[in-house]
Amino acid sequence: MHTLPSHAMRPLCLNPSLCSSRFPFFSFSIPIFHKFKNNPTIYKKSQKGPPFFSIRCCGSGSVTAKPSWELRRNRAAVQEPDEKVVALRQLFTKPGIGIDAYIIPSQDAHQSEFIAECYMRRAYISGFSGSAGTAIVTKDKAALWTDGRYFLQAEKQLNSSWKLMRAGNFGVPQASEWLTDVLAPGGRVGIDPFLFSYDATEELKEVISKKNLELVYLYDLNLVDEIWKESRPKPPNKPIRVHDLKYAGIDVVSKLSSLRAELVAAGSSAIVISMLDEVAWLLNLRGSDVPHSPVMYAYLIVEIDAAKLFVDDSKVTSEVMYHLKKAGVELRPYDSILSEIRRLAAEGAHLWLDTSSVNAAIVETYKAACDKYLMNRGSRGKTKNKQYFESDSLPVGPSGVYMQSPVSLAKALKNPSELEGMQNSHLRDAAALAQFWCWLEEEIHKNMKLTEVDLADKLLEFRSKQDGFLDTSFDTISGSGANGAIIHYTPEAESCSVVDPNKLFLLDSGAQYVDGTTDITRTVHFGEPTAREKECFTCVLKGHIALDEAVFPENTPGFVLDAFARSALWKIGLDYRHGTGHGVGAALNVHEGPQSISFRYGNVTPLQKGMIVSNEPGYYEDHAFGIRIETKLVDLSLLSIEEMEWLNSYHSQVWEKVSPLLEGSARQWLWKNTRPITKQ
């Protein structure tokens, strides 16, 4: 599955020594927390973060895929009325609000990719259900930005009241730039500060201030929630569970001890952990608050001698309570996070904040509390609070340490137990896929009429029979023909297509198991593929092989390798609108940073031993087909001898590792599809 900020792709290859896996694995290295090369900034100004809404896609210059706007459906000349947008605009002039535009992002308060239904505000207001995008409503306009993975989907889902902004395309302004164009000087732009990282708000303020526009933080209410009202889904409250040490590999006490050593080295006395997968990983906990991701809504504050988990305690079982107590972790109400931030500032804490992920509400609350502390100290003289002082004679007030969270990299460098769990879960997942493809071929040969949803449901049935299965790791992308060209297409029962045996069928899916997370894509044709389809597919395969066989120096960032996967497509004038590889969590989020393999050169995180990274180049011809990996579609005349050897070695390893988990017709199917192939 593809994601934009730091990820994207599904694999064919198995690492030669770990052939059960869909991802290249690198061996574990210690210590748990690795030193960052950048130095901390121990003052109030944040380090500059990534550009606000700087979504980018490839496909520029002479290397292009057929642009979707050439084929998009005609829209009605008269805009359709949108009652939700009208109701939202009516709130702009209410007392205490007074804004001219309102921005609705995709994220929750933790900058999550997948979010609980009750936080899907952008989807509710716009009707666009893709996982990435930003909506802006002004008093007379409504616009939505999304990236190349979702252009076709957005065209289908947005009504004519909305303007689709194809982010990254030539001539399309960024959201902040658009605001400066459509609002008059002195205009006020409202946001919910819990839904934006601090870096994003700083970037936004910098751009809109050039037009004398003001950014307004609406702390106490979210305007979309105000019109959603009683129909808004309730917040999730399913129980949290302990992630067994045999899968986690390292106990919580050891993880917290390593983190505290990092705090001391950085001159910090406490850290706010707001990313949900970081909280889950650090505490060896898993939840089910978010679809497809085994996480729970929570914040974590770790101090030198204490740790507090901010969570709805109704989710905390007696087992989890005991688990946390052993590690010295106290519980606090989820909504009390800001009051705790104020307390830390009042006690002079040097608070570590990753401003690229911690929301603006938390950072601004801390900054305001720091200012209050200094004002009180100036008016009252020397304070008696010494908790965070370096010495009695040299008191030090609160100040921020603005750096990337050290948990992000520590989580990405998998330990041996995590790697073993990922390998084992991939083997079981491969068995489920083999059973599925065997079943599907039999059904197609019987001329059975099957829809895209039927296939997604059947795959879920096979997966659910595997040991340790918990959930899918993302919505299954089951696309026949033209639907396969919609990079994040999700079929729905009332509108999906019947699978056409004479067209390409793309299946992009994954699962969450108790010991690991999977993500795999295949493209098949049940009839006779065209020469064009085989050419495109084989170029995608060549790119996959090139990346798998790449040899590169230690500490090479992923963007350096991205061209390996695209080169074969570039040679025939093609490309794809997403990154090539993303990190994958160990029984956690299917998309994980900080590493990625992408054309986005801003991510300079080096690829290191212990990281798991996907390998999934693709090609999508709008309104025709989408491609990612299967053998019938290979044009052998385009493969070199070395590439043929790679493909046969891969199939040999698949048979060796997966066949013991199969029997009957599924085993026969696997044997038929993993036999050596040769050029005629």
Quickly list DSSP for 417-438: HHHHHHHHHHHHHHHHHHHHHH
- Are residue 176 and residue 324 in the same domain, yes or no? no
What pLDDT does residue 19 have? 36
In the chain, % of residues over pLDDT 90: 75
Cα angle 493-497-502, degrees, rounded to a multiple of 5: 150
Q: What is the pLDDT of residues 219-255, one digit of tens each?
A: 999 999 999 999 999 999 999 999 999 999 999 999 9
Q: List the one residue out of 210, 332, 358, 199 whose CA is nearest residue 275.
A: 358
What tokens were used for 470?
A: 């918990």
Q: What is the pLDDT of residues 102-134, one digit of tens each?
A: 999 999 999 999 999 999 999 999 999 988 999
Q: What is the pLDDT of residues 544-558, one digit of tens each?
A: 999 999 999 988 999
Amino acid identity, position 172: V
- Are residue 521 and residue 653 in the same domain, yes or no? yes
Q: Which domain, by its residues, includes 476?
A: 413-674
- Are residue 196 and residue 282 in the same domain, yes or no? no
C-alpha 227/C-alpha 225 separation (Å) is: 5
Residue 13 has pLDDT above 90, yes or no: no
What pLDDT does residue 398 have? 86
Q: List the one residue out of 420, 522, 448, 513 whose CA is nearest residue 479.
A: 522
What tokens were used for 411?
A: 């989580």
Residue 526 lies in a domain: yes
At which of 367, 386, 411 does a domain end?
411
Sheet of 505-509, strands arranged across: 477-480, 505-509, 520-524
What pLDDT does residue 382 have? 47
Confidence of residue 31 (pLDDT cuts 50, 70, 90): low
How many structural domains are present in the chain?
3
- Are residue 403 and residue 498 in the same domain, yes or no? no
Q: What is the pLDDT of residues 54-106, one digit of tens each?
A: 333 333 333 333 344 343 444 444 456 689 999 999 999 999 999 999 999 99
Residue 12 has pLDDT above 70, yes or no: no
Q: Residues near 47 by Cβ (< 8 Å), separated by ≥ 6?
A: 41, 355, 402, 403
Residue 51 has pLDDT above 70, yes or no: no
At which of 205, 231, 257 does a domain end?
231
What pLDDT does residue 5 have? 38
Residue 387 lies in a domain: no
C-alpha 402/C-alpha 328 separation (Å) is: 26
DSSP string, 597-637: ESS-TT--PBP-TT-BB-----EEETTTEEE---GGG--GG
What pLDDT does residue 601 have? 80
Q: What is the pLDDT of residues 373-420, one digit of tens each?
A: 888 876 554 444 444 444 443 346 788 999 999 999 999 999 999 999
- Are residue 480 and residue 543 in the same domain, yes or no? yes
Residue 574 has pLDDT above 90, yes or no: yes
What pLDDT does residue 62 have? 39
What pLDDT does residue 33 have? 64
In the chain, % of residues over pLDDT 70: 85
Amino acid identity, position 514: V
Residue 49 lies in a domain: no
Tell me if 23 sits within 8 A of 629, measured CB to CB: no
Residue 662 lies in a domain: yes
HSE-CB at 469 with a 13 A cutoff on CA atoms is 19
What tokens were used for 11?
A: 């694999």
Q: Check residue 557 and report its DSSP letter.
A: B
Instruction: Classify residue 396 as exposed, middle or buried by CB count within 10 Å of its CB (0-12, 13-18, 19+).
Output: middle
Confidence of residue 627 (pLDDT cuts 50, 70, 90): confident
Alpha carbon distances (Å) from 132 to 67, 85, 106, 361: 20, 20, 6, 22
Mean pLDDT over residues 551-568, rounded? Answer: 94
- Are residue 440 and residue 336 in the same domain, yes or no? no
Residue 487 has pLDDT above 50, yes or no: yes
What tokens were used for 385?
A: 């609070």
C-alpha 486/C-alpha 153 separation (Å) is: 7
C-alpha 374/C-alpha 323 separation (Å) is: 39
Residue 19 lies in a domain: no
Cis peptide before 676 (omega within 30 of 0): no
Tell me if 417 sits within 8 A of 457, measured CB to CB: no
C-alpha 298/C-alpha 109 separation (Å) is: 10
Cis peptide before 31 (omega within 30 of 0): yes
What pLDDT does residue 375 have? 83
Residue 8 lies in a domain: no
What pLDDT does residue 338 have? 97
Alpha carbon distances (Å) from 393 to 377, 383, 396: 15, 11, 10
Residue 637 has pLDDT above 50, yes or no: yes
Q: What is the mean pLDDT of the chain?
A: 87
C-alpha 475/C-alpha 484 separation (Å) is: 14
Work out whether the CA dihedral 79, 82, 83, 86 comes out positive or negative: negative
Mean pLDDT over residues 485-495, rounded? Answer: 86
CATH number of the domain within which 662 lies: 3.90.230.10
C-alpha 90/C-alpha 84 separation (Å) is: 10
Give pTM, 2 decimals.
0.86
- Are residue 635 and residue 616 in the same domain, yes or no? yes
Query: What ranges in 493-628 are assigned the alpha helix state H?
Result: 531-548, 562-570
- Are residue 563 and residue 638 in the same domain, yes or no? yes
At which of 184, 211, 231 does a domain end?
231
What pLDDT does residue 606 have? 94
Tell me if 6 sits within 8 A of 603, measured CB to CB: yes
Tell me if 636 sits within 8 A of 679, measured CB to CB: yes
What tokens were used for 250?
A: 């390292």
Looking at the chain, the number of H-run helices and the number of E-run strands are 19, 23
- Are residue 647 and residue 608 in the same domain, yes or no? yes
Amino acid identity, position 17: S
Residue 434 has pLDDT above 50, yes or no: yes
C-alpha 7/C-alpha 383 separation (Å) is: 48
DSSP β-ladder status, 142-146 and 134-138: antiparallel
Residue 28 has pLDDT above 50, yes or no: no
C-alpha 470/C-alpha 287 separation (Å) is: 11
Q: What are phi and psi of 15, to 5 degrees?
A: -55, 135
Q: What is the pLDDT of residues 324-377, one digit of tens each?
A: 999 999 999 999 999 999 999 999 999 999 999 999 999 999 999 999 988 887
Cis peptide before 594 (omega within 30 of 0): yes
3-state secondary structure of 399: strand
Q: Which residues pair with 471 in a beta bridge?
A: 512
CATH number of the domain within which 122 lies: 3.40.350.10
- Are residue 370 and residue 273 in the same domain, yes or no? yes
Confidence of residue 603 (pLDDT cuts 50, 70, 90): confident
Cα angle 412-552-410, degrees, rounded to a multiple of 5: 15
Residue 9 lies in a domain: no
Higher pLDDT, 37 or 375: 375
Work out whether the CA dihedral 58, 60, 61, 65 comes out positive or negative: positive
Residue 451 has pLDDT above 50, yes or no: yes
Residue 515 has pLDDT above 90, yes or no: yes
Q: List the one residue out of 628, 493, 477 whose CA is nearest residue 153.
A: 477
Residue 384 lies in a domain: no
**Of the listed ranges 137-146, 293-302, 372-381, the one predicted with least confidence:** 372-381
Helix (H) or strand (E) holding 308: strand 307-310
Residue 216 has pLDDT above 60, yes or no: yes
Residue 486 has pLDDT above 90, yes or no: no
When computed from its CA atoms, the radius of gyration of the chain, rounded to whole angstroms, is: 26
- Are residue 206 and residue 301 in the same domain, yes or no? no
- Are residue 227 and residue 264 in the same domain, yes or no? no
What pLDDT does residue 607 have? 94
